[in-house]
Amino acid sequence: MSLSSSDRARYARHLLLSQLGEAGQERLLAARVGVRADVPPDVGVLQVARAYLSRAGVQLGSHDDASHIVSLPSARDVATTATIPELEPAARALLGALAAVRAVQDIAELPSRAPQTLPFAISSEEA
Please report whether residue 20 resides in a domain: no
117 within domain boundaries = no
Residue 63 is assigned to a structural domain of this protein: yes
Q: How many domains does the chain have?
A: 1
Q: State which H helix or E strand residue 10 sits in.
A: helix 5-10
Quickly list DSSP for 87-108. Answer: GHHHHHHHHHHHHHHHHHHHHH
pLDDT at site 114: 46
In this structure, are residues 96 and 52 in contact, taking their beta carbons and an 8 Å threshold?
Answer: yes
Is residue 24 domain-resident?
A: no
Tell me: the pLDDT tens digits for 13-56?
989 988 888 999 999 998 888 877 665 667 788 888 889 999 99
pLDDT confidence of residue 20: 87
What predicted TM-score, i.e. pTM, was given to this entire model? 0.73
Residues with Cβ within 8 Å of 9's Cβ and at least 6 positions away in sequence, in order, are: none
Q: Which residue segment(s) compose the domain that 69 sits in?
A: 32-108
Report the amino acid identity of residue 20.
L
In this prediction, residues 92-111 reach a mean pLDDT of 85
